[in-house]
Structure 1
C-alpha cells in the first residue's frame, strides 16, 4: 500500500496521466492527494482526490491568451518557483507520505524536494528526450534566470516514470522507466462509421494563431462527406468559429465517448491527446501549434511510426482537406494504427508505473 503526494501544475494535458496513476494507486489500497494550481481543483476533487492549492499562483490559467514572450517568461517563473517544493515538504511532514510524485515541468519542486530528502519520483507526460532538450535549450535559460538549474532538477530523482512508449522516445533521461501510454478510461478498438467521423481538438492551452488554424480546419473539412466534431477547450469561444454544414462545435466533449466510432483525429500534437487517440487505434493528423513545445516531435513520431501525418499549422484549408482525404483513404496507415492500438490496450502504462512505484517505495535507502 502506497501513500502518494502528487505535485502538479496547470499545464494542459499533464493532469490526465497524474490522475490515471493516482487511480491505480488507490485501486491497490493506497492513497493519493494533490498539490497544484487552484484552477485544477474541480477536476481533481471530482476525480475523488483531496486538493491543496499553491499560494501565490491562485489566478494562473494555462488557457489564458498570452504572447509567445509572455508565455515563455511566465512559465519559466512558474516552473522554477520553489513554493511547490515548500508546500510538498510541509504536506509530507503533516501526513503519511511514501512517495512524492512531481510533474516534470516543476523544476523548482524537483530540485527542492530531492534536496530535502523526500522520496521523489518524477512523472514525465511527454517524451523525456524533449524534456531534457528543452531544459538545455533557450527555455532552460529563462528557468536558470529564475534561480533553478532545470537539467540538474530533471536528472536528480532516482526514478523517472515516462508515460510513453520507448519507440516514440529514443533519448531518455537518467533513471527513466518507459511505462507505455497511460490509459484514460478503458480504450477499445475503434469501429468507424460508414460516414467518417473526424474529431478536431487543438489543445486546452492557448497558443498564438490557434483560433485561425481551427477556422481553416473547419473550412477545409466543410466540403467532405463526413461528420466533423470540434472541441475547442476553454481557450477558444465556440461561437467565435464559423461552422460548416457538416460540423458541430463544442467547448468540451468527452473524447472517450467519441473515439470508438472515430475515423481520424486532427490535433496539435499534445502527448495526452495523441496517446488517447492511438489507444483506440485511430490515425492522426497533427498540426503543431508551438515550435518550442513537444508538439513537433509528437507529430514527427506519429508520421515515422506510420500512424498518421504532420503538416505545418500555417497550412491552408485546402492542404488540411487534402491531408485528411489522404488519411481517410490510406488503409496501410489505418491498419498500422490499429495494430498499435491493440498493443497499447494490452496493459495500462499506469499499472506498470504503480509496479515501479511500489518497488521504489520498498527499496532500502
Structure 2
C-alpha cells in the first residue's frame, strides 16, 4: 500500500530529551562526499537532545564524527579507493561499479562491524546510509529496528516520480507514465543483475530470507528518512515507511570555520560551488570562471577539497578559494552556479537564490529538473562554452522571475529545515525485538 509522502521538518526545537527517555543510537555511515554533512548533522541533533550516540563510519569521517559529540568507531576495512564514476560510459558499467564499490563490496565487512557494535552498545535504533546494505542486514538479523537516511530526493522507483538519474520531469498522460514504468523496470533489472545475488548470499549467511529485488533491502527499514523538502521533490506515491523530514543545511566541517572576504566591487555576487568529490570538473570550473570574467559581477569560486584553487586561472573580478562557509556567503549572493548536488541546491533555495546548474551525473540531473520546472533557475550542459555559461548567468540575474520562484520555493525549504519532524520520528523507537537468528 502506498500514500503521498508526509511533509515534515528537520530542525532542533524544544529542549533536551525532556519528555523522552534517553536512548542509544548507532549510526552506520559511509563516506559519499556531499552526504556526510547532512548525515552527521542528524547525529549532532540527536546528541544535542541528550541521547547516547555512536557513529560507525569511514576513517575519513573520524574528526567530523567526533565533532558532533558522538562516540566514534571506524569500519575495520577502508574503502577501496575513489569511485571514478565519470569514467564509466554505459549504464551497465555504472551499475556494476556502483554494486561492487558502494553496495555489495563493502557489505560483508559492514555486517560484521555493525553486529559487533550492536552487541556491545545494545542500541534502540540503527541509522544507516542509503548504501549501507551490510549494516541494514546486521540490524535486521539482530532484531534491531533500523532507519535509512536519504540526504536527497526519494530515489527509489515510485509512481508519479521520474526515473532516477535521467533528468526527466514526471511523465504525463498514458505514454509518459508508460515511459517511466519502462525505464524504472529496466534500471531495477540492471542493478539486480549485479547486486541482488551478493545481497541474498549475505542475507543467507546472517540467517535471513532472500529478497526479490535489491531495493527491497531498503524497504525493510522501520523508516526511510528523506532529508529534503517535500516541496522540492516531485509528488509521488511512496511506501508507508517513507518520511520527508526536511533538509539539513549544515556546512561541511572543512568549510564551516573558514574566514572569507567578499570580493571587491559592487557588482552582484555570484557563488560558484561544485562537487566536494572529484568529478573530473576542473575544465568546467575554468569555463565558469571565464564566463564570470566577462560579466559585471563579482565571482566567488569555492573549489572544495577535491580541486586546488591554483588549478583555476582567476579573472580580475573572480576570487578562487578552497572553501568558504556558505551560510555566510549565501545571504550576500545573488546567484549560485553549481553542479547540482543536493546540498548546494537546497541551501541556495533556502536562501532564496536562483541557480545555474551544470549537472555532471549521479543525482544532479534530477535536482536540476526539480529547479527548472519550478522556474527557480536554468540548466546548462557541463560542456557548455564560457560564452554560453555567461549568457545563462546574465539571463537569471536579469530576469526577476527566477529569484521570485526561488524565494517562493525557498520559503517552504527553510520552514521544513527549521522544524522538528526528524527528531520527532527518531525519538519514537519501539524496542520490539525478536530473537535474532543465530549467526553460523
TM-score between both structures, scaled by the size of structure 2? 0.74
1:295 paired to 2:364: yes
> 1:117-146 deviations in whole A, cap 9, x for unaligned?
221011111221357756726445433364
Name the CA shift for 1:288/1:172 in 2 (closer, same or farther; >3 Å).
Answer: farther
What is residue 68 of structure 1 aligned with on the other side?
88
Name the CA shift for 1:301/1:66 in 2 (closer, same or farther; >3 Å).
Answer: closer
**Cα distance between partner residues in 2 of 1:301 and 1:65:** 23
> Given that residues 273 and 302 in structure 2 are in contact (C-alpha distance below 8 angstroms), is that contact kept between their aligned partners in structure 1?
yes
**Cα distance between partner residues in 1 of 2:189 and 2:419:** 30
> Given that residues 43 and 68 in structure 2 are in contact (C-alpha distance below 8 angstroms), is that contact kept between their aligned partners in structure 1?
no
For residue 27 of structure 1, report the CA deviation from its aligned partner.
Answer: 2.3
**Cα distance between partner residues in 1 of 2:270 and 2:286:** 15
**Cα distance between partner residues in 1 of 2:152 and 2:308:** 27
For residue 317 of structure 1, report the CA deviation from its aligned partner.
Answer: 0.9
What is residue 334 of structure 1 aligned with on the other side?
403
**Cα distance between partner residues in 1 of 2:410 and 2:115:** 40
> 1:203-259 deviations in whole A, cap 9, x for unaligned?
111224x11111111111111111111111222222111111111112222211211
Name the CA shift for 1:324/1:141 in 2 (closer, same or farther; >3 Å).
Answer: farther
What aligned pairs does 1:205-224 form with structure 2 within 5 A after superposition? 205-208=277-280, 210-224=281-295
**Cα distance between partner residues in 1 of 2:135 and 2:419:** 22
> 1:78-108 deviations in whole A, cap 9, x for unaligned?
3222322221221121114111111112233
**Cα distance between partner residues in 1 of 2:358 and 2:192:** 25
What aligned pairs does 1:266-305 form with structure 2 within 5 A after superposition? 266-290=337-361, 293-305=362-374
> Given that residues 346 and 413 in structure 2 are in contact (C-alpha distance below 8 angstroms), is that contact kept between their aligned partners in structure 1?
no
For residue 2 of structure 1, report the CA deviation from its aligned partner.
Answer: 3.0
State the structure with more CA Rg.
Answer: 2
Higher relative contact order (CA 8 A, sep 6+): 2
Name whichever of 73-82 and 232-241 sits farther off: 73-82
> Given that residues 279 and 344 in structure 1 are in contact (C-alpha distance below 8 angstroms), is that contact kept between their aligned partners in structure 2?
yes
What secondary structure, in the 3-state scheme, does the structure 2 residue paired with 1:128 have? coil
In the alignment of these two chains, the number of paired residues is 353
> 1:261-282 deviations in whole A, cap 9, x for unaligned?
1111111111111111111111
> 1:2-59 deviations in whole A, cap 9, x for unaligned?
3211111110111111122122212222122211111111222233332211122256
Gaps of 5+ in 1: 186-192
What is residue 4 of structure 2 aligned with on the other side?
none
For residue 75 of structure 1, report the CA deviation from its aligned partner.
Answer: 4.0
> Given that residues 192 and 214 in structure 2 are in contact (C-alpha distance below 8 angstroms), is that contact kept between their aligned partners in structure 1?
yes
